[in-house]
Structure 1
């Protein structure tokens, strides 16, 4: 299999209302695209074309685009955005824009991708996939890479579940995030300072859907709250559990009662009993009772009732 990726030079500056699809066709020519190509567009030029540039303070823009602060270290904040993405500074960017202005993420990157795809088909007759990209860091690893924040006409993951490898071992959860891989490959030729906001990836037509089928979009790559193991940073998780504030869904769905009973029995070393849908913890006072309440909150349980030496817990939401 051969994969080719190229990014045309000569893209003009982008302003509100500009036709990005027509701009790309002007750069690569009417015959520059083939059926099965994947067109990659940076979120910054998509945002500019959609009027998502504003004057003002970057910190204010970040606060407005933030749904939940996940972690903060010094001046860096990792947040959950209105689009459901988790990234530094809510994707608000002050580079490659006039001083005193910032660029926000597109309101609906998947919708943006669908619009570009439809317009490219109108202009060229070609059936292509479209990926809208942005730059993000990765937990546990230095540096950044581009990821897909929007997609249309494309399989964003490729599932191998149920298949076997060359040794006959079954594959249970193997599902490469191919839209993110395409985004990373495109960034290698676009560069950060090259002024090349478009790229064309050729060689994975098997991922491109027929005309009229848009696919699940890049939103399918976002883990819903309650299923992400890292809804808060390590420090923030401790503080939210102690204060019992913030978004409890970030800690995940309630732990099954039997598992929480075992955890409390091991950790607190006291009498713990499951009673129907509730858990009774006895012989706990003061700091030990506080530890039970904090542990329960962090595992999706809340206080149903308590006295000086015992606490009754109930799940704070449905089990999943």
Structure 2
């Protein structure tokens, strides 16, 4: 398998066609996987915002005060308001805001970014990253005549580990997971629980070459990845009723309050 960054992409502006920008700079194949950082998807979709657009309500002020008390660092209540408005639910509000986005991803600050946003204070996540991936794939097909899979990625921290890694937010042309249940190991034992999050692993591989900070290479191509003869699944985000960690966080927050 080969993973390489797409070079020469310009600063993406609202209204830009991300699929066209990619198709013009790399010779794509049908079985490629194009991994696109959510930052440029958000920029193309006009998801920049200024703090002045989020006058804080009482809840945002309370969250900012709780964070300041927990970490002894000033927190802008307008930023907290932006997180509240971009979230389906706030799971924890101190020492950081852990939020459920409206499309099911759980992440700190609802994934709102403040880096590499030249024309605004904030960059919000795409409203529906899977729909974004589908549009990018359609555009690549229109401009290049091939239809590679597309994964919209972001970086996210993980419980119990230091550091961030690439994760998938949306995808098109590929299953989110490959399901090994019912298959057998080398000893003939039937696998009962293994479901492999392929789109997350592809996003992690892409992040190794796109990097962070000022690299300016927000798109990577994964070539010669073989999904294999496995059942596929598009379930990536756990259902609320089956997410015991989310339930425990709610209980902890209730007891703390």
TM-score (norm 1): 0.67
> Deviations along 1:226-253, whole A, 9 cap, x unmatched?
100111565x52342587xxxxxxxxxx
Displacement of 1:100 in angstroms is 4.9
SS in 2 for 1:158: strand
Distance 2:43 2:233 in 1: 24
Displacement of 1:146 in angstroms is 1.0
Distance 1:52 1:152 in 2: 21
Contact 1:36/1:206 (8 A) holds in 2: no
2:175 match:
155
Distance 2:105 2:205 in 1: 20
Identify which of 65, 74, 87 aligns with 1:66: 87
Displacement of 1:59 in angstroms is 2.4
**Number of positions where the alignment pairs a residue of Structure 1 with one of Structure 2:** 228
SS in 2 for 1:231: helix
2:127 match:
107
2:35 match:
40
Task: Flag the structure with larger Rg.
Answer: 1
2:149 match:
129
2:251 match:
237
Call closer, same or farther: CA 1:242–1:134 in 2, change over 3 Å.
closer
1:9 match:
7
1:224 match:
239
Call closer, same or farther: CA 1:4–1:13 in 2, change over 3 Å.
same
Call closer, same or farther: CA 1:198–1:239 in 2, change over 3 Å.
closer
- Structure 1: any 5+ residue segments left out of the alignment? 208-214, 244-320
- Structure 2: any 5+ residue segments left out of the alignment? 52-77
Identify which of 112, 116, 119 aligns with 1:96: 116
2:44 match:
49
SS in 2 for 1:230: helix
Residues 264-279 of structure 1 mapped to structure 2, 5 A cutoff: none
Contact 1:54/1:101 (8 A) holds in 2: yes
Displacement of 1:160 in angstroms is 0.8
TM-score (norm 2): 0.83
Residues 304-319 of structure 1 mapped to structure 2, 5 A cutoff: none
Which stretch shifts more, 169-178 or 59-68?
A: 59-68
- Higher RCO by CA contacts (8 Å cutoff, separation 6 or greater): 2
Displacement of 1:14 in angstroms is 0.6
2:188 match:
168
Displacement of 1:169 in angstroms is 1.3
SS in 1 for 2:240: coil
Distance 1:164 1:127 in 2: 33
Distance 1:130 1:170 in 2: 32
> Deviations along 1:152-190, whole A, 9 cap, x unmatched?
010110111111100111101111101000000000000
1:27 match:
25
